[in-house]
Amino acid sequence: DSGVTQTPKHLITATGQRVTLRCSPRSGDLSVYWYQQSLDQGLQFLIQYYNGEERAKGNILERFSAQQFPDLHSELNLSSLELGDSALYFCASSSSAGSGNQPQHFGDGTRLSIL
Protein backbone atom coordinates (compact mmCIF):
# COMPACT_ATOMS: atom_id res chain seq x y z
CA ASP A 1 0.00 0.00 0.00
CA SER A 2 1.64 3.21 -1.23
CA GLY A 3 -0.53 5.46 0.95
CA VAL A 4 -1.81 7.32 -2.12
CA THR A 5 -5.57 6.99 -2.62
CA GLN A 6 -7.29 7.54 -5.93
CA THR A 7 -11.03 7.57 -6.50
CA PRO A 8 -12.93 6.33 -8.34
CA LYS A 9 -11.16 3.18 -9.55
CA HIS A 10 -13.25 3.00 -12.69
CA LEU A 11 -15.20 5.60 -14.58
CA ILE A 12 -17.33 5.07 -17.65
CA THR A 13 -18.82 8.03 -19.41
CA ALA A 14 -19.69 9.39 -22.85
CA THR A 15 -18.01 11.77 -25.24
CA GLY A 16 -18.55 15.43 -24.44
CA GLN A 17 -18.95 14.83 -20.72
CA ARG A 18 -16.89 16.11 -17.82
CA VAL A 19 -15.38 14.06 -15.00
CA THR A 20 -13.34 14.70 -11.86
CA LEU A 21 -10.66 12.36 -10.60
CA ARG A 22 -9.58 12.63 -7.00
CA CYS A 23 -6.26 11.92 -5.30
CA SER A 24 -5.23 11.94 -1.65
CA PRO A 25 -1.45 11.98 -1.29
CA ARG A 26 0.60 10.04 1.21
CA SER A 27 0.55 11.57 4.66
CA GLY A 28 3.15 14.33 4.83
CA ASP A 29 3.71 14.59 1.08
CA LEU A 30 3.31 18.07 -0.33
CA SER A 31 3.74 17.32 -4.04
CA VAL A 32 1.12 15.70 -6.21
CA TYR A 33 1.70 14.59 -9.79
CA TRP A 34 -0.78 13.43 -12.41
CA TYR A 35 0.15 11.01 -15.18
CA GLN A 36 -1.80 9.53 -18.07
CA GLN A 37 -1.13 6.04 -19.39
CA SER A 38 -2.75 5.23 -22.70
CA LEU A 39 -2.84 1.69 -24.09
CA ASP A 40 0.63 0.11 -24.39
CA GLN A 41 2.37 3.38 -23.65
CA GLY A 42 4.41 4.67 -20.80
CA LEU A 43 3.11 7.13 -18.26
CA GLN A 44 2.94 10.66 -19.61
CA PHE A 45 3.40 13.48 -17.12
CA LEU A 46 0.48 15.90 -17.03
CA ILE A 47 0.94 18.33 -14.15
CA GLN A 48 2.51 18.80 -10.71
CA TYR A 49 1.29 20.72 -7.69
CA TYR A 50 3.36 21.54 -4.65
CA ASN A 51 1.67 22.73 -1.47
CA GLY A 52 -1.27 24.14 -3.38
CA GLU A 53 0.65 25.82 -6.18
CA GLU A 54 1.12 24.61 -9.74
CA ARG A 55 4.78 23.65 -10.09
CA ALA A 56 5.23 22.07 -13.49
CA LYS A 57 3.18 21.32 -16.56
CA GLY A 58 3.65 18.58 -19.09
CA ASN A 59 1.60 17.63 -22.11
CA ILE A 60 -1.72 18.49 -20.53
CA LEU A 61 -4.57 19.39 -22.84
CA GLU A 62 -6.41 22.68 -22.36
CA ARG A 63 -9.58 20.65 -21.72
CA PHE A 64 -7.87 19.25 -18.62
CA SER A 65 -7.26 21.16 -15.42
CA ALA A 66 -6.16 20.34 -11.91
CA GLN A 67 -5.92 21.85 -8.49
CA GLN A 68 -4.56 21.05 -5.07
CA PHE A 69 -6.60 21.98 -2.05
CA PRO A 70 -5.44 23.21 1.39
CA ASP A 71 -5.74 19.68 2.79
CA LEU A 72 -3.33 18.69 -0.05
CA HIS A 73 -5.71 16.42 -1.89
CA SER A 74 -5.85 17.04 -5.62
CA GLU A 75 -8.46 16.82 -8.34
CA LEU A 76 -7.97 16.38 -12.06
CA ASN A 77 -10.85 17.70 -14.15
CA LEU A 78 -11.33 16.41 -17.67
CA SER A 79 -13.93 18.12 -19.85
CA SER A 80 -15.36 17.78 -23.36
CA LEU A 81 -14.20 14.20 -23.26
CA GLU A 82 -13.11 12.45 -26.43
CA LEU A 83 -12.63 8.76 -27.20
CA GLY A 84 -8.87 9.28 -27.09
CA ASP A 85 -9.04 10.36 -23.45
CA SER A 86 -9.70 6.76 -22.47
CA ALA A 87 -6.71 5.83 -20.34
CA LEU A 88 -5.40 5.05 -16.90
CA TYR A 89 -4.81 8.18 -14.86
CA PHE A 90 -2.28 7.89 -12.07
CA CYS A 91 -1.63 10.22 -9.21
CA ALA A 92 1.69 10.18 -7.39
CA SER A 93 3.03 12.07 -4.41
CA SER A 94 6.38 12.97 -2.92
CA SER A 95 7.60 14.93 0.03
CA SER A 96 9.59 17.54 -1.87
CA ALA A 97 9.01 19.86 -4.80
CA GLY A 98 11.84 18.73 -6.96
CA SER A 99 14.62 16.33 -6.28
CA GLY A 100 14.87 13.78 -8.99
CA ASN A 101 16.30 11.01 -6.87
CA GLN A 102 13.38 10.79 -4.48
CA PRO A 103 10.93 8.15 -5.60
CA GLN A 104 7.36 9.08 -6.24
CA HIS A 105 4.63 7.01 -4.62
CA PHE A 106 1.80 6.07 -6.95
CA GLY A 107 -1.85 5.38 -6.40
CA ASP A 108 -3.56 2.47 -8.11
CA GLY A 109 -5.01 4.69 -10.81
CA THR A 110 -8.40 5.56 -12.21
CA ARG A 111 -9.41 3.76 -15.38
CA LEU A 112 -11.43 6.11 -17.56
CA SER A 113 -13.45 4.64 -20.40
CA ILE A 114 -15.17 6.91 -22.90
CA LEU A 115 -18.00 5.33 -24.86
Partner 1 sequence: DQQVKQNSPSLSVQEGRISILNCDYTNSMFDYFLWYKKYPAEGPTFLISISSIKDKNEDGRFTVFLNKSAKHLSLHIVPSQPGDSAVYFCAASFVNDYKLSFGAGTTVTVRA
**Among candidate residues 27, 28, 19, 22, the one with its CA nearest the CA of residue 91:** 22
- Rounded to an integer, what distance in angstroms lies between the CA atom of residue 69 and that of residue 81? 24
94 binding partner 1? (CB under 8 A):
yes
- Asked whether the beta carbons of 87 and 36 are under 8 A apart, the reply is yes
> Strand 105-106 relative to strand 74-78: parallel, antiparallel, unpaired?
unpaired
Q: Which of 20, 60, 67, 97 binds partner 1 (CB under 8 A)?
A: 97
Region from 11-19, 60-68, 76-84, 93-101 binding partner 1, contact rule CB under 8 A = 93-101
Contact flag: residue 105 with partner 1 (CB under 8 A): yes
Minimum separation from the CB atom of position 18 to partner 1 (A): 24
The reply to whether 102 sits near partner 1 by the rule CB under 8 A is yes
CB of 62 to partner 1, least distance (A): 19
92 binds partner 1 (CB under 8 A): yes
- Does position 64 bind partner 1 by CB under 8 A? no
Coil, helix or strand for 84?
Answer: helix
